[in-house]
Amino acid sequence: MKNQHQSQDWDLIIKGHTSLFDIKFKDLWHYRDLLFLFVKRDFVSFYKQTILGPLWFFIQPIFTTIVFSLVFGKLAGISTDGLPQFLFYLSGITAWNYFADCLTKTSTVFKDNANIFGKVYFPRLIIPLSIVVSNLVRFGVQLLLFFGVMVYFSLNGAAFEMTYAVFFFPVLILMMALLGLGAGLIITAITTKYKDLSFLITFGVQLLMYGTTVIYPLSAAPESFKKYIELNPMTGIIEAFRYAFLGKGEFTVWSIGYSAVFTLVVLFLGIIIFNKTEKNFVDTI
C-alpha cells in the first residue's frame, strides 16, 4: 500500500509552510489559460458599458496631447528639441501611459480581487501579469496612432528620422512593463496594511510624470535638476523611445543600463514582497 501511494502523481500538493523565495513559476505556465481569461475580463468589464468602446484608446492620448501642446508648447514655450509639438508630446504620452497603467492597476490587485483570492487557489501573480498583457494591447493600439501621426508629419516635411535604436524597442517595452509590474506589486502589498496609500497612487503617478521627460526633453532641463531627472528610470526609457523613432533624445549605454538594473531590482523586490503578502493578506485586507 505504501509503494502504491508513492507512485501516484498529484496535481496539487498543499504545504503548511513555504519559503519566501518559493515563487512557483511553473504554476504560472499551468494556469496560462486563466491568464488569458483575466485579460478578456479586463476588456469586457471596462468597455462593455461605454458608448465609444475601444475608441477611447485613441481619444485619451489625442486629447492629452492637444492639451499639452497648448499649455506647455504654446503658453509655456517649452522646447521640443526641434520636433513638431504634437509629435513630441504624443511620443512621451504613448510610452508613459503604458507604464502608468501597469503601475496604477497592479497597485490595487489585492483590494480589487479580494473576493477571488479568498475562495479559490491559483497563482496570484496571474492577475498582475494579466494587467500587463491587457495594457500591452492598448499600448499597441496607441502605438499605431503614433505611427500614423509620424507618417502625417513626415509627408508634411517635418525633420525627424528613425535610428538604429529602433531595434531596442522590444527591450524598452519589456522594461516599461516590468518596471510598472514590480512597482505595482510593492504598492499593492503595502496597501493591504496601510490602505491610505491607495488614495495617493494616482496623484503620485501624475507628479512622477513631471519628473520624467514627457513634457520636455532632457536637453532642456536645468543643469541643477538634470541629474535628479536622470535618476528616474523612466527618463532613460522615454528618451530612448524618442531617439529610436524621432532621432531626438539621449540614448546612452549608461542611461539604458541604469534603467534596466533599476527595473530588475524593483521587479525582484516586488515579486518577493508580493509572494510574502499573498500568504496572509486575507486576514488584513
pLDDT at site 59: 84
Pair 52, 147: CB distance under 8 Å: no
Residue count (the chain): 285
Nearest to 94 by CA among 244, 218, 268: 244
Express each pLDDT in 234-244 by its tens digit.
999 999 999 99
For residues 248 and 83, what is the distance between their CA atoms, to the nearest angstrom?
8
Nearest to 215 by CA among 95, 86, 68: 68
pLDDT at site 14: 54
Q: Is 1 exposed, middle or buried (0-12, 13-18, 19+ CB in 10 A)?
A: exposed
Pair 255, 230: CB distance under 8 Å: yes
For residues 246 and 262, what is the distance between their CA atoms, to the nearest angstrom?
25
Instruction: Go through 213-249 and write b for each residue having 16 or more CB atoms within 10 A of its CB, e for each that does not.
Output: bbbbbbeebeeeeeeebbebbbbbbbbbbbbbbbbbb
> What residue ranges of the chain have pLDDT lower than 70?
1-25, 44-54, 118-119, 196, 279-285
HEC states along 38-104? HHHHHHHHHHCCCCCHHHHHHHHHHHHHHHHHHHHHHHCCCCCCCCCHHHHHHHHHHHHHHHHHHHH
pLDDT at site 280: 65
Pair 81, 217: CB distance under 8 Å: yes
pLDDT at site 54: 67
Global confidence as pTM: 0.83
pLDDT at site 91: 93
pLDDT at site 191: 81
C-alpha cell at 36: 488569458
Task: Report how far apart, in Å, the C-alpha atoms of 262 and of each of 1, 71, 74, 114 are.
Answer: 54, 32, 35, 30
For residues 242 and 161, what is the distance between their CA atoms, to the nearest angstrom?
10
Q: Could you write out the DSSP letters of every residue in 264-281?
A: HHHHHHHHHHHHHHTTTG
Pair 247, 163: CB distance under 8 Å: yes
Q: For the chain, give every domain's residue range.
A: 51-283
Dihedral sign computed on CA atoms, order 84, 87, 91, 96 = positive
